[in-house]
Amino acid sequence: MEKPIYLDYNATTPVAPEVAEEMWPYIQNHFGNPSSNSGIGRHNKEAIEKARMQVANLIGAFPGEIIFTSGGTESNNHAIRGAVFVNLEKGKHIITSQVEHPAVTEVCNYLENQGCEITWLPVDAFGKVNPADVEKAIRPDTVLITIMHANNEVGTIQPVKEIGEIAKKHGVLFHTDAAQSVGKIETDVNEMGVDLLSIAGHKLYAPKGIGALYIRNGMKLENLIFGAGQERGLRPGTENVPYIVALGKACELAGENLDTNNRHLFETRQRLLDGLKEKCRTTIQLNADLNNCLPNTLSIAFEKVDAHTLASLVSKKVLFSTGSACHANSVEISPVLKAMQVNPLTAAGTVRISTGKYTTKDEIDQAVEIISETVNKLV
């Protein structure tokens, strides 16, 4: 059976062939423990340090500011919990937004149950945080601001540079979840003014189960787990060498091809949107400002069309996500669309289509035909 056209790159990406090729020797032959003094152990230690440099180069950091994790969720947990727990003497107040990924919101909910106070900032109709709201929310006991770089559902890019300047002015730590932005748009930790930044490997053509956390030099974090001295003692445990090597290679490729990939993502998304507008016999509503959005992400609602019905009908030919979750006798709108105050009927008709570096123009044209034909039958 022919594979469906994959347009859900924000959910996960395939492993790039160059990445798979780079990691394979460390699965097949180079099995030594990086902490041992043997030749094979030293070889793997050198491979880890090379990967650390590759990750650091992509985000404008020093290699010593990178620790490897199991993915974006662990990076977010370590950044937020670690920063709060080590600064309890200063206070227990955290500032975040209403459109964060569950890997941030659930950590904040946990900390709230532990006695912390969370300020959940509102967003505008496109899911953007107002930096002025961040500044107003800062208190003497504020220990951390955590605002994502780009939203996973609608693609909106947050004003992290402005927020970073505010955080620095008030002496507050600033973390950003950059899982969706790294490799798609420029993500420089110094330009952004962040103290902590989370990376998820499977969002940039590395395997699932590997990520990284940037920790600005001089910052202290409380440990989440305890053991030997790997990763500066912050993330102890024998390193996952093949996957670390894979992430390093993925970051190297992302840096080398950032402009080319960015342009390709923009062009494929625009081709998709233009085609759907031309061929669909219903109103299409955008849920983001495309001038301030990830170049590959299109969150749109088809009027009078149920997104789950649409996705189900085309699923053997085209794959994408919906903006709501379907339960037994009800539809639950995503917290992101709720925070944006999207009309429930619009939210129920919302789909997220996200292109990738392997998306072809021919695939886009086919997807337009398949989606529009189905939409026109439903309206």
Shared-domain flag, residues 158 and 282? no
**4 domain-assigned:** no
Q: What percent of the chain has pLDDT over 90?
A: 89
Shared-domain flag, residues 117 and 228? yes
CATH of the domain at 271: 3.90.1150.10
CATH of the domain at 125: 3.40.640.10
**337 domain-assigned:** yes
How many C-alpha atoms does 164 have within 13 Å on its Cβ side? Answer: 18
Domain hosting residue 307, numbered range = 257-378
**1 domain-assigned:** no
Mean pLDDT of the chain: 95
* pLDDT value for 36: 82
Shared-domain flag, residues 125 and 172? yes
Identity (one letter) of the amino acid at 245? V
* pLDDT value for 323: 77
Predicted confidence (pLDDT) at residue 160 exceeds the cutoff of 80: yes
Shared-domain flag, residues 280 and 143? no
Shared-domain flag, residues 304 and 350? yes
**276 domain-assigned:** yes
Picking from 291, 288, 315, 287, the residue whose alpha carbon sits closest to that of residue 301 is: 287
Most trustworthy range by pLDDT among 22-36, 216-230, 259-273? 259-273
| Overall average pLDDT of the 34-47 stretch | 86
Shared-domain flag, residues 246 and 279? no
**10 domain-assigned:** no
How far is Cα 34 from Cα 15, in angstroms, rounded to an integer? 24
Q: Which of residues 256, 274, 298 is at a domain's end?
A: 256
Q: Which of residues 256, 271, 303 is at a domain's end?
A: 256
**184 domain-assigned:** yes
Q: Which residues contact 136 (CB under 8 A, 6 or more apart)?
A: none
Shared-domain flag, residues 166 and 264? no
How many C-alpha atoms does 376 have within 13 Å on its Cβ side? Answer: 12
Q: Which of residues 256, 280, 301 is at a domain's end?
A: 256
Predicted confidence (pLDDT) at residue 324 exceeds the cutoff of 70: no
**362 domain-assigned:** yes
Q: Domains in the chain: how many in total?
A: 2
| Overall average pLDDT of the 339-344 stretch | 94
Digit-coded pLDDT (tens) for 213-256:
999 999 999 998 999 889 988 999 989 999 999 999 999 999 99
Predicted confidence (pLDDT) at residue 334 exceeds the cutoff of 50: yes
Predicted confidence (pLDDT) at residue 328 exceeds the cutoff of 50: no
Shared-domain flag, residues 151 and 271? no
How far is Cα 350 from Cα 326, in angstroms, rounded to an integer? 13
* pLDDT value for 325: 55
CA dihedral 226, 229, 231, 236 (to 10 degrees): -30
For the record, the structure tokens of 184 come out as 């798609």
Shared-domain flag, residues 238 and 302? no
The pLDDT confidence band at residue 33, using thresholds 50, 70 and 90, is: confident
* pLDDT value for 39: 78
**178 domain-assigned:** yes
Shared-domain flag, residues 23 and 147? yes
How far is Cα 298 from Cα 279, in angstroms, rounded to an integer? 17
How far is Cα 159 from Cα 156, in angstroms, rounded to an integer? 10
How far is Cα 289 from Cα 304, in angstroms, rounded to an integer? 22
Could you tell me the CA-to-CA distances from 292 to 37, 56, 101 in Å, in that order? 50, 25, 19
Shared-domain flag, residues 153 and 215? yes
Could you tell me the CA-to-CA distances from 349 to 308, 344, 372, 379 in Å, in that order? 8, 9, 14, 11
CA dihedral 246, 7, 311, 280 (to 10 degrees): 170
Q: Is 326 a catalytic residue?
A: yes
Predicted confidence (pLDDT) at residue 327 exceeds the cutoff of 60: no
Shared-domain flag, residues 278 and 304? yes
| Overall average pLDDT of the 117-140 stretch | 98
How far is Cα 182 from Cα 204, in angstroms, rounded to an integer? 7
Q: What percent of the chain has pLDDT over 70?
A: 98
The rounded Cα 221 to chain-centroid distance in angstroms is 22
